[in-house]
């Protein structure tokens, strides 16, 4: 049977009681979703698109995009 020292057990309990904090930024950039549903500034990462949608920071409305990388990528695609 495994025995855990008191100090190690206290550390483990502290970690369980204080999970990593969620992102506390008050204002997040809105990212543009392309026709494939991918975040345009990170179009090779499907997990990024999922996170953006789940966290409510993805949009298909170009006018509301606030992500600088998305705007730069859209400018490159248009040839500007």
Q: pLDDT for 53-77, tens place per residue?
A: 999 999 999 999 999 999 999 887 7
| Alpha-carbon torsion, ordered 60, 73, 36, 46, to 10 deg | -100
| Alpha-carbon torsion, ordered 22, 38, 71, 77, to 10 deg | 160
Q: Which neighbouring-strand residues pair with 33?
A: 39
pLDDT of residue 2: 52
pLDDT of residue 25: 66
For 65, the token pair is 């995009």
Task: State the pLDDT confidence band at 26, using cuts at 50, 70 and 90.
Answer: confident
**Is pLDDT of 44 > 50?**
yes
| pTM score over 0.85 | no
Of the chain, the percentage scoring pLDDT greater than 90 comes to 51
Domain locations in the chain as residue ranges: 31-80
């Amino acid at each position: 049977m495994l025995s855990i020292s008191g100090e190690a057990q206290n550390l483990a309990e502290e970690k369980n009681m204080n999970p990593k904090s969620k992102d506390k930024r008050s204002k997040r950039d809105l990212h543009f979703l392309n026709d494939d549903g991918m975040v345009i500034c990170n179009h090779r990462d499907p997990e990024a698109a999922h996170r953006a949608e789940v966290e409510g920071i993805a949009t298909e409305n170009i006018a509301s995009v606030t992500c600088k990388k998305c705007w730069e990528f859209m400018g490159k695609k248009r040839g500007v």
